[in-house]
Each structure stands twice: as structure tokens, then as C-alpha cells.
Amino acid sequence: MSHFTAIKTQIKDASALVKALSDIGFKQVEVHDTAQHLYGFQGDIRSQTAEVIIRRKYIGGASNDMGFQRQADGTFEAMISEYDRRQYSQPWLNQVTQRYGYHVLMATAPAQGFTVEEEDVLADGTIRVVVGRWA
């Protein structure tokens, strides 16, 4: 049975998180108002809970569920098993965070009077977005 590791993030918006996960290939993501239990690779109920969950069947045959649990400060903590951390380690979480930031920007910029003027993906995968506001 794999041990789950909790990894702090700066992610706060569940909707932008789901969009970010979809961008990197996880199209089936559950979102719950109340945290739900995660399951281990044998279908066993784990003590860990999360509000945003990718079920193990969408991760891999020997995988556990992965989740993002809301903390008291409003941020989500990633709950990833020791087994799954081999593939879903810090570089993967950095990619999720990058895509999350993109979706937060796209959702908040128009509300603040900005328009997206330019958007590029650089060779290293960095997303460059230029926003502007006319006074």
C-alpha cells in the first residue's frame, strides 16, 4: 500500500485547476463541495480526502487516485501516492501550475479591463501572454 504525500500549492480556483488538468490530458476530473475519500490501487478506501479528484482508472492500472484537498487558507494541497510520484513529481506539478496560472489570467484579465493582445508558446514550453488596457 502506497503512502500519500501532501504537496503544498498556490492553487485556489477549482475551475482553473480542472482546466489545467484537462490541458495536460486528464479529461475526467471530479469536483466535490465536500472532500471525498481517495482509493488505493486495489480499490481500498484511503483515509486521504480531496475535493478535486482524478480517479486511478484515468491514471494507470497500478495507480492510486490523485487529489487536490482544499486547505484552511483556500489553497489546494496535491495528494499523490508514493508510487505515482515517480511519474507525477514536481515537474508535473509545475506544468499543472503553469496551465493553472494561464487559465486564471484568461478568466480575470477581461474582468479587470484587460484584453489579450498576444499569446505565444516558447520553445521551452513557457507561455508568453501580453495583455493591454486602453484608458
Q: Walk along the chain (135 residues) and give the pLDDT tens digit of each residue.
A: 567 888 888 999 999 999 999 999 999 999 999 999 999 999 899 999 999 999 999 998 789 999 999 999 999 999 999 999 989 999 999 999 999 999 999 898 888 888 888 888 878 777 788 888 776
**Does the CA dihedral 57-63-12-126 come out positive or negative?**
negative
Query: Which of 42-71 are b and which e, b meaning 16 or more Cβ less than 10 Å from the residue's Cβ?
Result: eeeebebbbbbbbbbebbeeebbbbbbbbe
Q: Is 19 helix (H, G, I), strand (E, B) or coil?
A: helix
Instruction: Judge contact between 38 and 127, C-beta under 8 A.
Output: no
Residue 20: what pLDDT?
96
Residue 81: what pLDDT?
93
What residues does 70 pair with on adjacent strands? 76
What is the reported pTM? 0.86
